[in-house]
């Protein structure tokens, strides 16, 4: 009757990103990031929103940590604004900016919450974009490694767990290919592919720098691969899903886990394939302590021996045309299958769900409560699927809900609300939602009710 779905040492937390929650965009010596420039362009962000204040965590971090403590959370995943600590991406450390992160980590530790720091969550120092072309250049990779090494040493044991880069695809394809997020570029395919490679190299360079100054640190990536799940859990479709997962994600997670680009990727890109060296992959393929999965959706896959690939992926458009349900690809079983497939392909030491959550148009009731049963339903289904992965022995060690707070959702502005805590953007008041209470009870009992 009292059996837990999650072990007592399971790591429960939430996640945020600096640009989305911190605010204080120009305070205490912070330099500009590519987002501070991108947001100036008309209609680049919905409602012409800007990150000057965001959720104001820079000034309200103690209040936010108190909320986490009240919920019994064991960890908080946040990102460091590179330009807050190194305004030009290199050179002299901005002590006031660094002191903010030290105070945040100290406050977390005082309250029994372990800091999990993400080194790069999309907010490149503007100076590096303007001088070198950002991630088009190996110079940026070099300065990223120096930033990680210098700041990790400065943190002096306050942080033991690190994510290197958050979501290669968004940084490269959306920022430098589609131009939908900062820096807003639409590069030709070959240059976009070089950005992809440099982000992989940044991950490996960060690992090397971190090992050099904090040998006992735990580190990995936070990646959102395309999660491909068998349409029916029978052997032929399971094998098709594994093959599809490896090949569709060949240029990112597969390259990291296998220490090389699979032939299928190089053949697919042809003359547009990136330039690289064997030494690059000695860094890129270096062992990690965990793999972080940012998991929001899944796509069904069937075995298709009649195709050259041997599989067929049902994309969102195909599903919607058949069912009339536009969000068909929000599939809770992706939690189970994502963990299982990653484990069976590559056997990482540990798996963390580094992000998972949903947005909604949450609003307070007349009594100031925020009722979000839709989010509870989403969480219950996804976490039940995750519990299934644990029962079968897959090494899932923690879960970080996206997000702690409602925040500036990048180019979509303030309209989407992902938080377990509602933020009144006029007053910056925090109101825990009903889903917050549900999550708190889950943390307390380890049981999905």
| Closest by CA position to 246, among listed 273, 231, 228 | 228
Please give the full DSSP string across 341-366, using - where no structure is assigned: HHHHHH--S-EEEEE----B-----T
For residues 198 and 209, what is the distance between their CA atoms, to the nearest angstrom? Answer: 16
Specify whether domain 11-226+249-294+330-445 bears CATH 3.40.50.150: no
Q: What mean pLDDT is reported for the chain? A: 96
Tell me if residue 350 is catalytic. Answer: no
For residues 176 and 71, what is the distance between their CA atoms, to the nearest angstrom? Answer: 39
pLDDT at 325: 41
pLDDT at 316: 63
For 186-220, what is each residue's pLDDT tens digit? 999 999 999 999 999 999 999 999 999 999 999 99
Tell me if residue 167 is catalytic. Answer: yes
Banded model confidence at residue 18, pLDDT cuts 50, 70, 90 = very high
Average pLDDT rounded to a whole number, residues 338-358:
99
For 219-257, what is each residue's pLDDT tens digit? 999 999 999 999 999 999 999 999 999 999 999 999 999
Q: Given 114, 167, 247, 409, which residue is catalytic?
A: 167
Q: Given 136, 223, 355, 409, which residue is catalytic?
A: 355
For residues 368 and 370, what is the distance between their CA atoms, to the nearest angstrom? Answer: 7
Contact 36, 81 (CB under 8 A): no
Banded model confidence at residue 1, pLDDT cuts 50, 70, 90 = very low
In the DSSP assignment, the letter for residue 72 is T
For residues 193 and 179, what is the distance between their CA atoms, to the nearest angstrom? Answer: 14
Half-sphere exposure of residue 75: CA atoms within 13 angstroms, side-chain side: 25
| Residue 447: pLDDT over 50 | yes
| Residue 51: pLDDT over 70 | yes
pLDDT at 328: 43
Whether pTM exceeds 0.75: yes
**E strand map for 341-438:** 351-355, 396-402, 421-423, 430-432
* 39-78 CB burial, b ≥16 within 10 A, e <16: beeeebbeeebbbeebbbbbebbeebbebbeebebbbbbb
| Residue 321: pLDDT over 60 | no
Average pLDDT rounded to a whole number, residues 327-356:
92
pLDDT at 444: 98
Banded model confidence at residue 2, pLDDT cuts 50, 70, 90 = low
């Amino acid at each position: 009757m009292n059996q837990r779905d999650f072990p007592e040492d399971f790591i429960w937390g939430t996640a945020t990103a600096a640009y989305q929650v911190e605010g204080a965009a120009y305070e205490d010596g912070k330099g500009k990031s590519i987002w501070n420039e991108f947001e100036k362009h008309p209609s680049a962000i919905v409602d012409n929103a800007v990150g000057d204040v965001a959720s104001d965590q820079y000034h309200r971090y103690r209040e936010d940590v108190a909320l986490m403590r009240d919920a019994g959370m064991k960890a908080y995943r946040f990102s460091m604004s590179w330009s807050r600590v190194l305004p030009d991406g290199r050179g002299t450390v901005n002590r006031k900016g660094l002191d903010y992160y030290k105070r945040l980590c100290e406050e977390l530790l005082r309250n029994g919450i372990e800091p999990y720091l993400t080194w790069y969550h999309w907010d490149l120092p503007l100076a590096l974009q303007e001088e070198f072309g950002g991630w088009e250049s190996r110079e940026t990779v070099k300065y990223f490694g120096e930033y990680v090494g210098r700041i990790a040493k400065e943190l002096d044991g306050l942080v033991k767990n690190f994510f290197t880069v958050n979501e290669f695809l968004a940084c490269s394809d959306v920022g430098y290919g589609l131009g939908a997020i900062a820096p807003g570029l639409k590069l030709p395919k070959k240059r976009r592919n070089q950005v992809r490679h440099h982000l992989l190299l940044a991950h490996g360079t960060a690992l090397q720098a971190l090992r050099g100054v904090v040998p006992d640190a735990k580190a990995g990536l936070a990646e959102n691969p395309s999660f491909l799940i068998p349409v029916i859990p029978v052997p032929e479709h399971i094998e098709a899903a594994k093959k599809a997962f490896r090949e569709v994600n060949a240029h990112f997670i597969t390259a990291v886990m296998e220490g090389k680009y699979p032939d299928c990727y190089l053949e697919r890109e042809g003359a547009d394939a990136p330039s690289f060296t064997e030494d690059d992959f000695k860094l890129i393929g270096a062992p990690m302590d965990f793999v972080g999965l940012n998991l929001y959706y899944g796509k069904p896959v069937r075995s298709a021996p009649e195709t050259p690939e041997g599989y067929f992926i049902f994309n969102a458009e195909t599903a919607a045309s058949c069912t009339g349900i536009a969000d068909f690809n929000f599939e809770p079983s992706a939690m189970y299958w994502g963990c299982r497939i990653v484990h069976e392909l590559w056997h990482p030491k540990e798996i963390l769900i580094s992000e998972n959550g949903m947005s909604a148009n949450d609003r307070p009731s007349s009594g100031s409560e925020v009722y979000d049963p839709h989010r509870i339903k989403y969480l219950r289904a996804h976490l039940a699927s995750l519990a299934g992965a644990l029962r079968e022995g897959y090494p899932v060690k923690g879960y970080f809900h996206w997000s702690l707070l409602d925040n500036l959702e990048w180019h979509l502005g303030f309209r989407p609300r992902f938080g377990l805590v509602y933020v009144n953007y006029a007053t910056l008041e925090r109101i825990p939602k009903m889903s917050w209470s549900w999550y708190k009870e889950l943390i307390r009992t380890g049981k999905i009710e």
